[in-house]
Amino acid sequence: MIRADLHIHSCLSPCGDLEMGPSGVIEQALKNNLTHIALADHNTTRNCEAFAVCAKKEGLGFIPGIEVTTAEEAHIVCYFNSLKKAFVFGSIIEDSLFKVPLNPEKMGEQIVINGDEEIIGEVDFYLSVASAFSVDIVVEKAMELGGFAIPAHVDKPVFSILTQLGFLPELPFSAIEFSSGFVRKNGCNHGKIDKNMQVVTSSDSHYLHTVGSAGFEIDTDSDDLFGILKELQNKKSDKIKCFAKEVRE
């Protein structure tokens, strides 16, 4: 059985709490019986290595990811099967960003850490801006590196692909992500989503207490979560079930 939360932010995301380091996140993930997590900071993959190192020590599956803000200001989460590929993709996205100088007091801090949870740097330009790449190009570039893409929190009134484009484009998405709040209230049904598309949810955690509060389970003997999701691409599996519990914001 796989139990996963694949949308978690670290202290590198400007909106992420400074306590969102590997040890705290992984402790909370294990407390909620997760088998896999993914890091999905805004427009960067710089903290993926630190999380990968710590997750491996604790026997927790880890997938390096990134939440890209497209040129249309839609959020797309991209995942990779190696740190090297994630870093290449992260550099492509970072290089495309308009470099707005970071004002930590107004925008939040953006802390880079290592596997020992030591601060090794800060990103001095604001990460939560739109990249230069449209939705289709983001998906294309992720797939060129062997990755896959999932539109994030498509039910939300801001930064969702449905809000920004008004429709779901016909692209090879591996799944569609609903917010945990939507799933708690409505299940996994949305009028603008093809019923044949796989739906997942996640915590979209910016604070430790929400890690593992939402996600999905897969009834399988395999632990290759990346491979399972990559193969879906506009297909649905009856083995995947979402879960979402109420937590304080």
Q: Specify the fold of 2-244.
A: TIM Barrel (3.20.20)
Angle 38-43-48 from CA coordinates, rounded to 5°: 35
Give the burial class of 23: count Cβ atoms within 10 A of its Cβ; 0-12 exposed, 13-18 middle, 19 or more buried.
middle
Cα-Cα-Cα-Cα torsion 16, 22, 28, 31, nearest 10 degrees, comes to 160
* pLDDT tens digits, 6-46: 999 999 999 999 999 999 999 999 999 999 999 999 999 99
d(CA 62, CA 59): 9
Q: pTM of this prediction?
A: 0.96
Angle 18-19-25 from CA coordinates, rounded to 5°: 130
Residues sharing a CB contact under 8 Å with residue 32, sequence separation 6 or more, in sequence order: 5, 211, 212, 213
* pLDDT tens digits, 35-72: 999 999 999 999 999 999 999 999 999 999 999 999 99
Residues sharing a CB contact under 8 Å with residue 48, sequence separation 6 or more, in sequence order: 39, 64, 65, 83, 86, 87, 90
d(CA 209, CA 159): 24
Confidence of residue 184 (pLDDT cuts 50, 70, 90): confident
* pLDDT tens digits, 199-249: 999 999 999 999 999 999 999 999 999 999 998 887 788 899 999 987 766
